[in-house]
Amino acid sequence: MDRLHAALLALLLVSGLQVAVDCARLCKPGFSEDVYNVAVPNSAEEGQSLFDVRFVDCGRGILVRLECSDPSDFRIAADGAVYAARSLQLAGFQTSPLLIKANDDATQRQWITQVKLTPTGTADQQVKEAALTPLVSKGLKEIVFPSRNTDSTLIRMKRDWVIPPINVPENSRGPFPQELVRIRSDHDKNRSLRYSVTGPGADQPPTGIFIIDQISGELSVNKPLDREHIPNFHLRAHAVDLNGNQVENPIDIVINVIDMNDNRPEFTHQIWNGTVPEGSKPGTFVMTVTSVDKDDPKTANGMLRYKILSQNPESPTSNMFTINNKTGGIITVAAGLDREKVPQYTLIIQATDMEGNSMYGLSNTATAVIRVTDVNDNPPEFTSDSFVGEVPENRVNVIVANLTVTDKDQPNTHAWNAVYKITGGDPSGRFSVPTDPTTNEGLVTVVKPIDYEISRTYVLTVEARNEVPLARGIHSPRQSTATVSIRVIDVNESPYFEPSPKLIKLEEGMQPESMLTTYTAQDPDRYMQQTIRYSKLSDPAGWLRIDPNTGRITTIATLDRESTFVRNSLYNATFLATDNGNPPASGTGTLQIYLLDINDNAPRVSPQETEICERPEPNTINITAVDGDLNPNAGPFAFELAKRPADVRRNWTVTRISGDYAQLSLKIGFLESGIYTIPIIITDSGNLPMSNTSYLRIKVCQCDVNGDCTDQQHIMAAGLGTGAIISILLCIIILLILVLMFVVWMKRRDKERQAKQLLIDPEDDVRDNILKYDEEGGGEEDQDYDLSQLQQPDTLEPDAIKPVGIRRLDERPLHPEPQYPMRSAAPHPGDIGDFINEGLKAADNDPTAPPYDSLLVFDYEGSGSTAGSLSSLNSSSSGGDQDYDYLNDWGPRFRKLADMYGGSDD
For residue 402, what are the β-bridge partners?
A: 443
- Residue 734 pLDDT greater than 90, yes or no: yes
pLDDT tier at 94 (50, 70, 90 boundaries)? low
pLDDT at position 381: 92
pLDDT tier at 612 (50, 70, 90 boundaries)? confident
pLDDT tier at 850 (50, 70, 90 boundaries)? low
pLDDT at position 757: 62
pLDDT at position 771: 52
Q: How far apart are the first and last CA of the chain?
A: 160
* Rounded average pLDDT over 605-624: 79
pLDDT at position 242: 87
CB 575 within 8 A of CB 546: yes
Cα–Cα distance list, 551 to 493, 499, 517, 554, 581 (Å): 19, 14, 9, 10, 19
- Residue 418 pLDDT greater than 90, yes or no: yes
For residue 899, what are the contacts with CB-CB under 8 A and spacing of at least 6? none
- By percentage, how much of the chain surpasses pLDDT 70? 77
pLDDT at position 198: 94
pLDDT at position 282: 93
CB 789 within 8 A of CB 759: no
* Rounded average pLDDT over 138-150: 64
Q: Please tell me the distance from the alpha carbon of residue 530 to that of residue 524, in angstroms, as a whole number.
A: 10
pLDDT tier at 895 (50, 70, 90 boundaries)? confident
pLDDT tier at 839 (50, 70, 90 boundaries)? confident
Name the residue among 344, 340, 330 with its Cα closest to residue 282: 330
Tell me what the pLDDT averaged over the chain comes to: 79
pLDDT tier at 490 (50, 70, 90 boundaries)? confident
Of the listed ranges 396-400, 651-655, 828-832, the least confidently predicted one is: 828-832
Write a three-state SS string for 42-103.
CEECCCCEEEECCEECCCCCCCCEEEECCCCCEEECCCCEEEECCCEEHHHHCCCCEEEEEE
pLDDT at position 122: 40
For residue 219, what are the β-bridge partners?
A: 181, 212
Q: Apex CA 733: angle with CA 730 and CA 735, to 5°?
A: 110
pLDDT at position 715: 46
Beta strands 457-466 and 481-489 are: antiparallel
For residue 182, what are the β-bridge partners?
A: 142, 218
pLDDT tier at 195 (50, 70, 90 boundaries)? very high
Please give the model's pTM, rounded to 2 decimal places: 0.42
CB 331 within 8 A of CB 321: yes
* Rounded average pLDDT over 104-126: 72
Which run of H or E residues covers position 41?
none
Write the pLDDT tens digit of every residue in 690-719: 788 888 888 888 887 776 777 554 444 445
Beta strands 552-555 and 544-546 are: antiparallel
pLDDT at position 41: 81
φ and ψ of 176, to 5 deg: -115, 150
Which range among 51-60, 172-181, 691-700, 816-825 has the greatest average pLDDT? 172-181
Write the pLDDT tens digit of every residue in 360-399: 899 999 999 999 998 988 899 999 999 999 999 888 999 9
Q: Is the peptide bond before 501 cis (omega within 30 degrees of 0)?
A: yes
- Residue 826 pLDDT greater than 60, yes or no: no
Question: What is residue 709's DSSP assignment?
Answer: B
- Residue 662 pLDDT greater than 60, yes or no: yes
Q: Please tell me the distance from the alpha carbon of residue 583 to that of residue 851, in angstroms, as a whole number.
A: 87
pLDDT at position 159: 36
- Residue 267 pLDDT greater than 90, yes or no: yes
* Between 875 and 502, the higher pLDDT residue: 502
For residue 8, what are the contacts with CB-CB under 8 A and spacing of at least 6? none
- Residue 583 pLDDT greater than 80, yes or no: yes
Of the listed ranges 132-146, 426-440, 886-900, the least confidently predicted one is: 132-146
* Rounded average pLDDT over 749-755: 81
* Rounded average pLDDT over 313-339: 93
CB atoms within 10 A of CB 97: 16
Cα–Cα distance list, 698 to 8, 407, 457, 612 (Å): 143, 97, 83, 7
pLDDT at position 156: 41
- Residue 573 pLDDT greater than 80, yes or no: yes
- Residue 326 pLDDT greater than 70, yes or no: yes
Of the listed ranges 111-120, 251-260, 268-277, 416-425, the least confidently predicted one is: 111-120
CB 637 within 8 A of CB 625: yes
* Rounded average pLDDT over 456-471: 91
Cα–Cα distance list, 138 to 142, 179, 182 (Å): 10, 11, 10
pLDDT at position 810: 46
- Residue 740 pLDDT greater than 90, yes or no: yes
* Between 541 and 524, the higher pLDDT residue: 541
- By percentage, how much of the chain surpasses pLDDT 90? 32
DSSP secondary structure of 407-462: --SPTTSTTT-EEEEEEES-TT--EE-PBPTTT--EEEEE-S---TTT-SEEEEEE
* Rounded average pLDDT over 80-106: 81
